[in-house]
Amino acid sequence: MCKTEYAVCGNPHLLEGSLSAFLPSLNLAPRLSIPNPWIRSYSFDGKEEWEVNPLYCNTVREIYPYSNSNRLLNIVDMAIFDFLTGNMDRHHYEMFTKFGDDGFLLHLDNARGFGRHSHDEISILAPLSQCCIIKRTTLLRLQLLAEPEYRLSDVMRESLLQDPLAPVLTEPHLLALDRRLQLILEAVGKCIDTFGEATVVANDTAQPQSPAAHRAKLDT
């Protein structure tokens, strides 16, 4: 297996891989396959609009369901996941039909992930950098994983040690996660500097009141 459209070749002719599918059948749980608005051109002689138009997100925001649901925020989450893993091949995403337009996205087909640990493909972050929105819960989790005591590479290393195929990821790939996480936070920071935190960071969940704040409200 060695084709010009794939950045990988067999040694000498075969590649070793795996396939895992843990979803119920379509008869039990119907799902839709939806083109990613930031799909790549997959050709040498043309580019998709998002690759040449930095204001492309304005067009996406006008299209249902990205215009009035949490779908665009979920797309940004998916782009962050893909950037961390180095997956440039997110041409479609899937959703269970039962949950409607506000359902969660299924991140299927991650086979192109964790390819080149030395290269950070910034274009994968186009949904984040062009739309300049992110869930508050996502940002808080990313910020936590950037702290020394909860470093993403350390968390992943410890988690993967439980896998029968441990270590699964090589050390350069683990360190790449930390580097890419910083690039994501830098992208969010640029958006906040430009548009303000209130516009960029979406409150996707109600923050629980602290006991002290609750008592103060009762006292008044």
**Which residues make up each annotated binding site?**
20-23, 94, 109
Annotated binding site for ATP: 20-23, 94, 109
The b/e string for 82-104 (b: 16+ C-beta within 10 A; e otherwise) is: bbbbbbbbbeebebbeeeeeebe
Residues tagged in the binding site annotation for Mn(2+)? 109
Task: Report which residue type is found at 134.
Answer: I
Q: Which residue from 53, 194, 203, 39 is spatially nearest to 132, judged by alpha carbons?
A: 194
Marked catalytic residue, from 45, 77, 82, 89: 89
Measured CA to CA, the distance from residue 89 to residue 95 in angstroms comes to: 18
Neighbours of 20 (CB within 10 A): 4
Instruction: Tell me whether residue 89 is one of the annotated catalytic residues.
Output: yes
- Tokens found for residue 81: 């996941």
Q: Hey, which residues are catalytic here?
A: 89
